[in-house]
Structure 1
Amino acid sequence: MEIRGKVHEIGAVQQVTDTFKKRDLVVQYAENPQFVEYIRFEATQDRTSLFDNLNVGDEVEVSFNLRGRPWTNRDGVTSYFNSLVAWRVAKVTTTAVDPGQSAPGPQAFDAPSPVDISADEGKDDDLPF
């Protein structure tokens, strides 16, 4: 999964145990600018360095996996937790557009030429239908 937004907060690396470390990144996500969401991503182990070159305010695209797991407390009550685990973060570069010009759209590609299937009338059709 991927999401685009603006870096709101970059957490420090947390050494949870001797062999496990993690780091958080909070991204402002404004699909609807009236209701901005703050999405927390985490990176673990050697991927904590993914956030090293980021600054608050950077526009980024975060590629992540959605993970979920149960946890049962001492009283036998089970709770469920979700986490968004980042595996790639890329800064989004925007180019300035002259106000008189329209923004560049998706790049066009050359579609293959249409094929006239009636052109081979003399050949036997070996399709079973």
Structure 2
Amino acid sequence: MDLQVKGKVTQILEAQSGEGKNGPWKKQDFILETQGKYGKKICITHWGDKIDQFNVQEGEELTVFIDIQSREYKGNWYTDVKAWKVERGEEGAPSQEAPFNDQEPTIDMSDMDHDVPF
């Protein structure tokens, strides 16, 4: 399932790289803050060529199309929020080709009411 989230880039973290069983990899995280009464900060990762392709800059208003995936490692679960498409501002100038389907669910984080202590 593909989702999208809108917000402002508040921080770009340092790129990371390494060598895996499938060869070299590179990723970079950025923090997107949603708007609304209780804005949320979301750490989003983009991988490989998408780092240069998206060219995300601090202070930009973006719509980020994401995949959410969890995996288990030694009894602990880890969740990734991965960007696969980015649109900028009101013009919606995409930085990647259109998605596989035309129906994409949207998460409006500003309307969520959480009782979580963090």
Bin of the TM-score, shorter chain as denominator length: 0.5 to 0.7
Unaligned residue ranges in structure 1 (runs of 5+): 73-77, 95-129
Contact 1:41 1:86 in 2 (8 A): yes
One-letter amino acid of the structure 1 residue matched with residue 50 of structure 2: R
Deviations 1:65-114 (A, max 9, x none): 01110000xxxxx01011101011111127xxxxxxxxxxxxxxxxxxxx
TM-score (ref. length: structure 2)? 0.65
Name segments (4+ residues, structure 1) moved above 6 Å.
none
Between structures 1 and 2, the one with greater strand share: 2
For structure 2, the residue ranges without an aligned partner over 5 or more in a row are 92-118
**CA distance in 1: counterparts of 2:30 and 2:14, whole angstroms:** 9
Counting matched residue pairs gives 86
CA separation in 1, counterparts of 2:31 and 2:87? 14
Q: What is the aligned partner in structure 1 of residue 69 from structure 2? A: 67
- TM-score, with structure 1 as normaliser: 0.60
Tell me by how many angstroms 1:25 deviates: 1.2
- Higher-Rg member (1/2): 1
Matches within 5 A, 1:1-129: 1-17=3-19, 19-30=24-35, 33-52=36-55, 54-72=56-74, 78-93=75-90
Aligned CA RMSD, in angstroms, stands at 1.7
Measured at CA, do residues 12 and 22 of structure 1 come closer, stay the same or move farther in structure 2, by a change above 3 Å?
same
| CA drift at 1:34 | 3.3
Question: Using CA pairs below 8 Å that are at least 6 residues apart, which structure has the higher relative contact order?
Answer: 2
The Cα shift of 1:12 comes to 2.8
Q: Partners in 2 of 1:86 and 1:12 — Cα distance?
A: 16
